[in-house]
Amino acid sequence: MTIKYRRFAMGVFGLALGASSLSTNAGELASRTPADALIYLGWTDVPNDGQSLVGLTEAVLASPPVQQEMGPEGAHVRRVCAVLRMMLAHPGALVLLPAPPDRPFAEGLGAVIHAGAGAEPLTAKLAELVTALHGGQAPVRAPVGDASLMRADVPGGALYFGAVKEHLVIGACEATAARLVGMTSASSGSLADSPGYKLACSKFEPAGKGFALTFFAQVPALLRLVNSLEPLAPDEAALQEKVFTAMGISALRSVYLRVDESPYGPRIVAFTQVEGEAGGIVSLYRQKPLTDDDVRLVPKDASFAAVSNFDFSALWQEGLKAADQVSPEPRAAVEAAVTQASLMFGFHPVNDLLANFGDTWAIYDAPSHGGILITGLVLCGETKDSAALNGMIGKTVQFLTPMAAMGKVGLRIRQMKHGGREVNYLLLGGLPVPVAPSWGFAGDRFVIGLHPQTVAVALDQADAKTRGESLIDHPDYKLVRPRLPKDITSLAYADTRATYRFWYALREAAHTMAASLTAVSETPFDLGSVPPFPEEYAGIHNFIAAHSYDADGLMYSAYGAHPAALILSSNGGLTSTTMLASILLPSLARAREQAKRQVSASNLRGIGAGCMVYASDNEEKFPASLDALVESGTITEPMLHSPRDPTGGRSYVYLDGQTAASDARNVLAYEKPIDNEGTHVLFCDSHVEWMKPVAFRQAMVETYRRLNRLDKLPPEFRE
């Protein structure tokens, strides 16, 4: 098996084991993981459709088109999928432990699969896979701790794996495997008992039954690991510490993420533990809580929305403070640039503009705006002085007007009246531009959009006196809000149900592609297994997420399916797999062709270099034939064979009788044309070009003309 495909197969095995666990649950194996684990990824209860996705991948790989492209190596990838499917049938965990001293960090990689009675069969299947991937060399038994595991020699080290009681244990080195073996019977000292892990788990409601995924990482240990990969000089380490402190990164202790099921549908919760009063940019997450009135800025029929409390003026100040802690020199340049900008625009970007903004922001789109795609998008903010903000916008347009005029564009501000309010909009006169940047004010709120009509509708919603029903009144919001923390600093919403029909139609096409592609395979995909739209639609919930914080750190909670997540879900993964196969089949063929072209071009460059060496020893004369180069040892026989040439014979044609002083435009050798796309050509100055048939023919005609050999021009190059 080639190294390329061996690495590909092992990569698929590792990535698929991690990525597919995104479809799984966490009745976790944290209690079987050492407390000092740098990274932990645990899962249980992989849904049937998640396992079916692996089965579909097997079917696609077994289809004739894919088999033809991948050849015998495809069988190895299918073996990986078979082992993966067996693993996903059981709870498991991937871990990264501290590697033994002076050893690569990758030796800390390990896995524990709670396979029960399936531990021994899974071990045997894994042994078959490892044997196939490494040239038929079977693993051997080796004592590890209190267990007897399989040891397989792999590039750069050894892999240990085997059944220990009800678990399959895998370690990238003996020390890692031994630690995991010891944890299969340990009752204390596990990650589940560590303060950071227990604190993170306590922040959220326990998961119900069903799938879940748990990720946990210890930030300081990871930072030390990163630094150990490429040790820093003392001054670099000191600078890094300043940056981390200024950014607030030094205060981070751990990161926890959990994906599971809730009564409302999929749930994602995350917690970043912060020690003490973190400064820098991290401190900006500690914003004041959103009020119901802030959320009412978003209409009930919003397609998507994000509402947040964020102080941009504070962000600027924290940015300057952080920069000062690292190096005070740039501050003067920044302040000079801001001062210059204030002179050009007629107002100070920080003291006048940023200071004018409040801290509440909402961005959303809604069908009631009448827009399409992003044209209905609006930004609603808070202003302390609407007249001043309107004046600054006008000054900005005034500043840009002369520059626009140089491009024959006339900027014109116009007004629209609606409901007693004035909406301003900017026209780019002289160009058929389909948008008109617009803005307006309602009390202490301002709205910016792409059309005056959109802004007019959004202003009605921003004004408490004229607004209609809002996101507060949406049944999904009412259902999920009690599950979110009491005080939230930001909110995100997406009407997934409104867009799901599009994703279903896209997946339906992909399902059919998969069924067609695998129809003649040994394991075809059953198109009839796909549920009809109403059945799937009934289980789709709109996406609602929020950020919050407390004395221990930052929290994130999300319920329902975000539209983007539909592609990454187990069902959506089917779409990705099928479409990826349909896209990669021609791409893989193309990539192979490009690789062959690179080899052929390299062969010709070697021939050109050989001719130059030969000429330096033979009065500037090039050799009489390519055989002379082979006989002199300047090039080797394999260099005369192009991987693009299906005949197996010599692939290059040599034009003899030339010297190092010949015209540099003359063709010296060329690859026999194999198709109508083009061929590689070596010129007398040793450079190689890929030439299209017409250009190549012209180059040959000109070469023979300059050599006074037009009568000997090969027939294929004549008119």
The conformational region for residue 605 under phi > 0 = left, psi -120 to 50 = alpha, else beta, is alpha
Query: Does residue 565 register a pLDDT over 90?
Result: no
- Higher-confidence residue of 604 and 103: namely 604
Contact partners, residue 38, CB within 8 Å, separation at least 6 = 96, 97, 98, 108, 217, 218, 221, 222, 225
Select from 168, 205, 33, 208 the least CA-distant residue to 108.
33
Q: What's the pLDDT band for 323 if we cut at 50, 70, 90?
A: confident
Q: What integer pLDDT is reported at residue 576 of this predicted model? A: 42
CB 192 within 8 A of CB 198: yes
What pLDDT sits at residue 278? 64
Higher pLDDT, 561 or 652: 652
Give residue 73's pLDDT: 60
- Does residue 580 surpass a pLDDT of 60? no
**Segment among 382-391, 454-463, 559-568, 662-671 with least mean pLDDT:** 559-568
Share of the chain above pLDDT 90, in %: 45
Is 578 in contact with 515 (CB distance < 8 Å)? no
Amino acid making up residue 461? Q
pLDDT value for 240: 77
Q: Are 43 and 18 spatial neighbours (Cβ–Cβ below 8 Å)?
A: no
Tell me if 172 sits within 8 A of 144, measured CB to CB. Answer: no
pLDDT at position 164 is 93
Is 432's pLDDT higher than 50? Answer: yes
- pLDDT tens digits for range 335-384: 888 889 899 999 999 999 999 999 999 999 999 888 777 888 999 999 99
pLDDT for the residue numbered 311: 87
Average pLDDT across the chain, whole number = 82
Alpha carbon separation from 392 to 344, 348, 386, 612 (Å, rounded):
12, 9, 10, 69
| Rg of the chain (C-alpha set) | 33
The structure's pTM equals: 0.71
Please state the three-class secondary structure of 535-594 as a single string: HHHCCCCCEEEEEEEECCEEEEEEECCCHHHHHHCHHHHHHHHHHHHHHHHHHHHHHHHH
DSSP readout, 121-137? HHHHHHHHHHHHHTTT-
Percent of the chain with pLDDT over 70: 83
Determine the Cα–Cα distance for residues 176 and 37; give it in Å rounded to an integer: 11
Picking from 552, 668, 501, the residue whose alpha carbon sits closest to that of residue 276 is 552
Query: Does residue 32 have a pLDDT over 70?
Result: yes
Phi first, then psi: give them for residue 205, nearest 5 degrees: -60, 145
Query: Where do the domains of the chain lie?
Result: 1-29+38-187, 297-469, 597-717
Determine the pLDDT at residue 320: 79
Strands 410-418 and 688-691: unpaired
For the cut 60, the answer to whether the pLDDT of residue 498 exceeds it is: yes
Question: Does residue 612 have a pLDDT over 50?
Answer: yes
The pair of structure tokens assigned to 112 is 């524990």
Contact 197, 273 (CB under 8 A): no
What span, in angstroms and rounded, lies between the C-alpha atoms of 470 and 292?
Answer: 10
First to last CA, the chain: 48
